[in-house]
A and B are shown apart, each in its own frame.
Chain A
C-alpha cells in the first residue's frame, strides 16, 4: 500500500484536530490497518483487538476524548472577557505580585510545568535540589519516625468470602508497603549521609523544617494529658446493658483490631499526594463491570450498533434519526 509514507496516527495528545506525522513505512502495521481498512464495510465491527477497549475504534476513542474535553469547558466557545478597569488608584505592586497578576497561564500549563519538574527531579536530582516547588514530594522529617511494619490485621475466620479476599489483598499490600518503606528508609539514610557530607564540605545546608509546635508548648501539654493518652482515645463511657443474646455464637460480630498509635501517627503526618496521584483510577482488577452503553438519541440502553460508525442506538426510530446525521458526516 503506497501512501507516500503519510499515515494518520491516533495520538492521545490533546489536540483538537487529528494529528499527522511522518513515520517510516515498514509493512502493514496494526494501527495503520485499523485506521485505513481495505474493506470499508462494517468498519465498526472490524476493529483491532487490544487497540483499546474492544468496543472502541480509534475514531470513537478520539471522539470520546474530545467530548470529555468539551464537558470540562466553562463556556461553549472561547470567550475573552477582559477585567473591567477600576477607577481605583493603583498602588505599586511588588515584582512577584506583578508577575503573578500578569501570568496568563491556565491550570493545564501549571500542571505540565509541575510534571516536567517532577520528571527532571527523577532524571537529574541535582538540578532541582533547591527548588521550593518540590517540597511536597520530599518526605517531611516528621514522617520518618515511627514507621510500622506490622502486618495488616487479618480478620478471624467466619467472615464472608469477600471479606477474606479483601483481607488477603490488604495483607499483600501491607507487605509490599513494608518493603517499599524499608527501601525508602535506606534511601533516606543515604540522603542524610549525602547532606552531612555536603555540610561538612560547606557547600549546601539543608533547609530546616518549621517545627510543628514549640518544644516548651509540647512539654506543657504532655503534663496536662495522661501519659498513656492515645491518638484516638478509647471509649470511656459505660458499656450498654448486657443482653441475653450476647453469648449467642450466631450474633457475635468480628471487630477488627484497632491500629496502633504508631500506624495512626504515620498516617496523620504523611505528606500530601501530588495532584496526579490523588486522581482515582481503576486498579489492577480494572473495571469490574462491563461499560454500560446508551442510545445516542434518546438515552435508553444502546441495544443496536450503527453499522457505519458504531454509534449505539436503541431501536429503529432512533436509528433513522441517527442515519440522517451519519449520512451527512460519512456518506452513504
Chain B
C-alpha cells in the first residue's frame, strides 16, 4: 500500500499543540501554538542558545544567562555553527532545560506535541539526518516538520509590513504570493525568493557576513585603536547593537570623522561632526551595561588622566558605520563576495525577468542585523541603482525582525500546509530517516496550490 493512501483514522490522535522552534545560532525563539489560539498578541520566548562561562568559572545554560550580571571575559559555547545545529550534546542540554525537565518553564510532553523547527537553507544532509533522528528517537515527538526559516515568513500578513493601502474587506492571502526574503542573522545573510510559500531553491544565495563577523570586526578595530577588547565579545556586541548604524553617505561620513593630516585641526573631528559618540563601558560594580552618550570633546582624555576615574569612555567614530558597511561591501575586509545588493541581483539573475517586478516590490528583511538604523533605506538605494528603471523597489522590515520567522512559523503551524508536510513518528519508524529527509526536501510541490 502506498504510504499516502493510509486511512485518515491512523492520524486521528493529531496533536493539538505545536511547539514552534526557531533555533537560531544566537537565540532560540520558542512558543506553543494551538489551532484555536488568538495569534494577534502571540510572542515567543527568546532563549540565548549558548552555554556560557564567566570569569569566576560559573556556567550558565541557555536562559540562565539572565542571572548573569558580570559579562566581563565571558566565553560561549554555541551548539549552532554557521546556522546549523552541529553539537547535539550542548543543544540537547539547552533544550532539556527549556522544554523537557520537570521544572522547565515551557514544559511539554513530546508524545502529544508536534514540532515545527526552522532551519537555514542549504544545510548538509548529514546534519539534517542527525536532527531528524534526535527529534524522533531521543524525544519522540508525535509529529514533526523541519522547514527552511525564510519560507516560514511567507505565512504572515506581508502587506501589513509594507503598509500597503487596502480596503478592509481585502482577503489576506496566506502564504503570500510572492516575496523576496532577506534573512540577516548571526552566522550569515541569505536571500530567498518565495512563491506561494515555496522557496525557489535554485535562486537562494548566501553571503558569509553575519552579526558575529561584524562584532568580531568591531572588536578588532577597538583593540587596535583603544583598549584590548578581544575577550569582551559580549560587551562589544552590546556596543554594536547600541551604536552602529548603516551609513547612507559612506564617503561623506568617513571624511567627517577623519582627524586630518598632521597639524591640521578639522572642525568636524573636534566637535564629533554629529557622528562621534561616547560609549561608557560597564565597570561590573555599579553598571552592568554600557551607555551611549553624545560626544563630549575631551571627556575621554579627562577620564583617563584623573586618578580616581569613575568611568571608562570609548569614543566611537568611523567604527559606528564602517562595521555594518561590511554587509554591503564585504571586500573591505578582503572577503571576496558581492555585497548585499549584488547578492539580490545574483539571485534574481537565475530567475525569469517576468518575476523581477513582483519580487523587487516585496523585499522583506528579517534577522537581527535588520535592526541597524538605515539598513533598509541603504538597501533600497543600492537596489534602485541596479534594477531596470521601471521596477518599483520596496524594502521593509517587520516590527521585530528577530521574531518574525517564529511568527511566520506559528502561522504555518495552524495552516493546512503543516498537516500536509509533517511526518508522524509512526511514519518515521516505518520508512526511516532517509525517507523523511526526502519528503522534507520535496516540499509542498505545485500540484495542489493553496
Interface residues of A (CB under 8 A from B): 64, 67-68, 70-77, 79, 81, 83-84, 86, 88, 93-94, 96-97, 100-107, 110-111, 113-114, 132-136, 140, 142, 152-153, 155, 159-160, 162-163, 166-167, 169-170, 173, 207, 209-218, 221-222, 225, 229, 231-232, 253-259, 263-265, 267-275, 277-283, 287, 291-292, 294, 296-301, 314-317
Interface residues of B (CB under 8 A from A): 2-5, 51-53, 59, 61, 75-78, 81-82, 84, 86-90, 92-93, 96-97, 101-102, 121-127, 129-130, 133-134, 137-138, 177-178, 190, 195-196, 198, 200-208, 212-213, 216-217, 219-221, 224-225, 230-231, 233, 254, 257-259, 261-262, 317-319, 322, 329, 331-338, 342-343, 346, 349-358, 388-390, 420, 431, 433-435, 437-439, 441-450
**Which residue from B77, B124, B258 sits with its C-beta under 8 Å from A275?**
B124
Q: Are A132 and B437 in contact (CB under 8 A)?
A: yes
On chain A, the residues within 8 Å of B449 by CB distance are 225, 229, 231
Q: Are A136 and B125 in contact (CB under 8 A)?
A: yes
Q: Are A84 and B93 in contact (CB under 8 A)?
A: yes
On chain B, the residues within 8 Å of A70 by CB distance are 216, 220
Q: Are A317 and B138 in contact (CB under 8 A)?
A: no
On chain B, the residues within 8 Å of A282 by CB distance are 336-338
Smallest beta-carbon distance A150→chain B, Å: 9
On chain A, the residues within 8 Å of B433 by CB distance are 132
A interface, by DSSP: helix, strand, loop or mixed? loop
On chain B, the residues within 8 Å of A81 by CB distance are 51-53, 59, 75-77
On chain A, the residues within 8 Å of B123 by CB distance are 275
Q: Are A110 and B127 in contact (CB under 8 A)?
A: yes
On chain A, the residues within 8 Å of B336 by CB distance are 281-282, 287
Q: Are B202 and A273 in contact (CB under 8 A)?
A: yes
On chain A, the residues within 8 Å of B350 by CB distance are 173
Q: Which residue of A lies closest to B92 (CB)?
A: A101
Q: Are A256 and B4 in contact (CB under 8 A)?
A: no
Given known A-B contacts A72-B213, A271-B201, A278 and B206 have beta carbons under 8 A apart: yes
On chain B, the residues within 8 Å of A83 by CB distance are 51, 61, 89-90, 93
Q: Which residue of B lies closest to A296 (CB)?
A: B224
On chain B, the residues within 8 Å of A114 by CB distance are 124-126
Q: Are A232 and B195 in contact (CB under 8 A)?
A: yes
Q: Are A279 and B90 in contact (CB under 8 A)?
A: no
On chain A, the residues within 8 Å of B262 by CB distance are 315-317
On chain A, the residues within 8 Å of B96 by CB distance are 86, 88
Complex formed: what's the CA distance from A265 to B349 in Å? 18
Q: 27 pairs across A/B with beta carbons < 8 Å?
A: A67-B220, A70-B216, A70-B220, A71-B213, A72-B216, A81-B76, A86-B96, A93-B138, A96-B137, A100-B134, A152-B353, A153-B352, A153-B353, A207-B434, A210-B442, A212-B442, A214-B4, A215-B4, A222-B448, A232-B195, A254-B390, A258-B354, A259-B352, A269-B446, A272-B121, A279-B206, A298-B258
Q: Which residue of B lies closest to A292 (CB)?
A: B332
Q: Are A263 and B335 in contact (CB under 8 A)?
A: no
On chain B, the residues within 8 Å of A222 by CB distance are 448
On chain A, the residues within 8 Å of B338 by CB distance are 280-282
Q: Are A280 and B318 in contact (CB under 8 A)?
A: no
Given known A-B contacts A132-B433, A256-B356, A74 and B89 have beta carbons under 8 A apart: no
**Which residue from B3, B61, B81, B216 sits with its C-beta under 8 Å from A71?**
B216
On chain A, the residues within 8 Å of B93 by CB distance are 83-84, 86
**Which residue from A218, A258, A280 sits with its C-beta under 8 Å from B206?**
A280
Q: Are B390 and A253 in contact (CB under 8 A)?
A: yes
Q: Are B446 and A264 in contact (CB under 8 A)?
A: yes
Q: Are A79 and B448 in contact (CB under 8 A)?
A: no
